[in-house]
Structure 1
Amino acid sequence: MLRWIVFVLIYLGLSFYIVQALRSLFRQPWVYLVYILVSLAILVNFIYQFTAGEEAGRVLSRPKSYAFGFLLTMMSFKLVIILFLFSEDIFRILSGVYQKLFGESKEFSLPERRRFLGMIALGIAALPFGALLYGMYKGKYNFKVLRYTLEFEDLPDSFDGYRITQISDIHSGSFDDRKKIEYGVDLINKQKSDLLLFTGDMVNNKTEEMLPWADLFSTLEAKDGKFSVLGNHDYGDYIAWETEASKQKNLQDLKDLQRNMGFDLLLNEHRYLQKGKDRIALVGVENWGKGGFKKAGDLKKASAQIHPNDFTILMSHDPSHWSEEVLHDEKHYHLTLSGHTHGMQFGIEIPGWVKWSPVKWRYPHWAGIYKELGQFINVNRGFGFLGYPGRVGIWPEITVLTLKKKTLT
């Protein structure tokens, strides 16, 4: 309760502070009255959804996600404006103090707010405000196909030109537009890759979230099959279960559902993909994550029966597994496929120029292709979304990887 009181007081304090600026900028009272009403509506909805709303507790339902999204949007607007206003107020106070100490009148008075600075603040604040609203309206389904060609000296000849489609982080419990998801699934199939790999987090918490979408994702196909692994959200660790047995049943139901959808779910296991006399090894581990995330992945067990010289592709949901264990393992994993980070669903990407997201401070390998010690990893930005119900700058991704035999010169 104390946390809610502190939060409300801070929110209302920021709102009141901004109203003072709006009153100096606009003569029409309706402008700041609209701001007050919208700001209060967002606050009340957020408090309701996270206290007395449907599915109260730790389940992040769609209403909760949107309540959080609108709060985040409004807070970004407030904070940008306050950054300008607070800076100006410091200048105004210093000017007043100077006038008191050294001025002719010896009176303390604050200069009026500069209207042009307030207008600049509003203009700049409108950018993240609009971007976050766009991210919720359209950005979350702005699917992008990203293509990479990777060269390997020891790639078996028969696999030269082999195409792999990777998707990750479906988070079906967050979906709210079937036609958009149908478009995304169709886009995956249009790639007509040899192999389809899903690298975890099919649901947010419960298997039942995937049931309305299972028939649609069952239509995914690839010539050499489709394979999957589990992500941290698939275990149901982030909600309270009535019993441990119900939690384990939920996990087993998800495993069964993935198999019924046509996925070969790899639980610390491997498979061989054969083309004529050539083959490559596909290894799938359960979730292994640094910093408090579940460490069910067992790399040694999964690859115990693989020949050391086999060309090997690893599916591991969390990219921290690559840097912490995979890179320095005695087995050489030519290509690792991960997801998990979502690219934080927020950032700036201009191919060939800039790639930035705050998530880089948590995950050094957070999106796209990286190469170290002769080994590649691709970190998929995710198909779905979680928490903030949108994406800004970091769009939902379908990855197409083409394996090429590197010619020696």
Structure 2
Amino acid sequence: MSRWIIFIVIYFLLSFYGFQAIKTITKHSWLHYMFIAIALLVIGNFMYQFLSQSEGRVLSPGKSYALGFLLTFLSLNLVLVPILFIEDVIRVCLGLYDSLVTTKDGFYLPSRRIFVSQIALGLAAIPFTSLLYGMYRGKYNYRVLKYTLHFEDLPDAFDGYQITQISDIHSGSFDNREKINYGVELIKSQQSDLILFTGDLVNNKASEMEPWKELFGSLSAKDGIYSIFGNHDYGDYVSWKSGEEKRQNLEDLKQIQREMGYNLLLNESRFIERNGQRLALIGVENWGKGGFKKAGDLKKASELVDPKDFKILLSHDPSHWDEVVTKDEHHYHLTLSGHTHGMQFGIEIPGWVKWSPVEWRYKHWAGIYESNGEYLNVNRGFGYLGYPGRVGIWPEISVITLKKGPKPA
């Protein structure tokens, strides 16, 4: 409870500075009252959601929006505070100078300057509106990102082979069927030879996927749909009445994937054949460093694979690639991962800037990476979790075309 008290005190101190900017710019009292009402509503809803009974660590939709609005309101105040605080320091120094050096009697604190508050509010409006946009539209701003990868040892029959990768659906967060349907139709329109899903179908429970099962089950590809589990699929972040209930949840999720026509790979492999040639498709269970579940067994998954096979590996957490895959005796030509979501926040200008705070945690967090002829694609995710939006890091559908031959100079 002491942490809550500290948090509330900090929240209201930050809000006080925000109120000062509003008060300086306008004398309309209704705007002052509106700011105060919003501040109270945001913190009140946040406390109600997070102090109520919870099933586990993962955020429910109600909690996610409470967190989203809190972050949005705090972003406004966190920009205002440094600017107004520096102005306050200058005001105090000027007041002390006047009282000590000049002939003025007593201490006089100069008034706030309107233009400083205007600048502060203008700058604060950037993250504020961005986070609101991210919740309203950004989380459904689907992007199809296309990559062409060249391999000299790609079987001739698979030259030009196209793969669509989706990841991190997180169906328990969805709140707009029309937008989700648009995203699914976008996947279909790629008409790829193969669709691969790299984990996190749900947030916590298999039941979250029930309203969306028919929609995602409408996906199809010539060579099928293959999938793996992500860390959220195991139900580790929610409270269960018994171990049996948790095990049954996992079995239910497996059954849902079968009903959707997904071929779930649990530390096992399959082969895609064309004209007497084949690709090895390998799927491992979740393996992640830093406290995440390590159920993935690459040796077991690859035991039927020939060293000469062209290999495509599905592994949810990209840390597996750097820690295990690239060090394995087998050469895994292409690994497909997700997990990071690009933190759902960042700045990306192709060819210029690619940044997100998630890079402080993950070396490989979005897009294509290469090491000694082995490639990794980290999908930014189809859905969202926690903050119910996306800013700058948009939901992704990856389309990868395999080409035989050396990479063009």
Given the two structures, how large is their TM-score scaled by the length of structure 1? 0.97
Match status 1:238 vs 2:237: yes
Q: Is the Cα–Cα contact under 8 Å of residues 273 and 279 in structure 1 kept in the other structure?
A: yes
Partner of 1:201: 200
Identity across the alignment (%): 63
Write out per-residue CA displacement over residues 284-336 of structure 1, whole angstroms, 9 at most, x where no aligned residue.
Answer: 00000010000000011111221111110100000000011111111110000
* Matched letter for residue 61 of structure 2: R
Distance in 2, Cα, partners of 1:102 & 1:308? 84
Alignment of 1:8-407 (within 5 A): 8-52=8-52, 57-105=56-104, 107-407=106-406
Report the Cα offset of residue 256 of structure 1: 1.5
Write out per-residue CA displacement over residues 45-96 of structure 1, whole angstroms, 9 at most, x where no aligned residue.
Answer: 111111237x565352111111111111001011011121112112222333
Distance in 1, Cα, partners of 2:343 & 2:74? 18
> Comparing 195-204 with 243-252, which one deviates more in the overlay?
243-252
CA distance 1:344–1:215, change in 2 (3 Å): same
Q: Hey, which bits of structure 1, 4+ residues long, moved more than 4 A? A: none
* Matched letter for residue 239 of structure 1: V
**Unmatched tracts of structure 1, length 5 or more:** none
* Matched letter for residue 308 of structure 2: N
CA distance 1:12–1:298, change in 2 (3 Å): same
CA distance 1:212–1:336, change in 2 (3 Å): same
Distance in 1, Cα, partners of 2:38 & 2:165? 41
- How many residue pairs match? The answer is 408
Report the Cα offset of residue 350 of structure 1: 1.3
* Matched letter for residue 340 of structure 1: H
Report the Cα offset of residue 103 of structure 1: 3.7
Write out per-residue CA displacement over residues 325-363 of structure 1, whole angstroms, 9 at most, x where no aligned residue.
Answer: 111111110000000000111111111211111111111
Q: Is the Cα–Cα contact under 8 Å of residues 283 and 312 in structure 1 kept in the other structure?
A: yes
SS at match of 2:180: helix
CA distance 1:211–1:373, change in 2 (3 Å): same
CA distance 1:41–1:407, change in 2 (3 Å): closer
Q: Is the Cα–Cα contact under 8 Å of residues 205 and 234 in structure 1 kept in the other structure?
A: yes
Report the Cα offset of residue 111 of structure 1: 2.4
SS at match of 1:13: helix
Q: Is the Cα–Cα contact under 8 Å of residues 49 and 56 in structure 1 kept in the other structure?
A: no
SS at match of 2:121: helix
Given the two structures, how large is their TM-score scaled by the length of structure 2? 0.97
* Matched letter for residue 83 of structure 2: F
* Matched letter for residue 242 of structure 1: K
Write out per-residue CA displacement over residues 116-162 of structure 1, whole angstroms, 9 at most, x where no aligned residue.
Answer: 11001101111111111111111111111000000011111110000
SS at match of 2:51: coil
Distance in 2, Cα, partners of 1:199 & 1:42? 35
* Matched letter for residue 80 of structure 2: I
Distance in 1, Cα, partners of 2:331 & 2:196? 20
CA distance 1:408–1:294, change in 2 (3 Å): closer
Distance in 1, Cα, partners of 2:105 & 2:160? 81
Q: Is the Cα–Cα contact under 8 Å of residues 218 and 261 in structure 1 kept in the other structure?
A: yes
Distance in 1, Cα, partners of 2:102 & 2:149? 71
Report the Cα offset of residue 408 of structure 1: 8.8
Report the Cα offset of residue 100 of structure 1: 4.3
Distance in 2, Cα, partners of 1:307 & 1:201? 29
**Unmatched tracts of structure 2, length 5 or more:** none
Write out per-residue CA displacement over residues 5-62 of structure 1, whole angstroms, 9 at most, x where no aligned residue.
Answer: 2222221222123223322221111112111101111111111111237x56535211
Distance in 1, Cα, partners of 2:204 & 2:407? 48
CA distance 1:88–1:235, change in 2 (3 Å): same
Distance in 1, Cα, partners of 2:109 & 2:154? 73
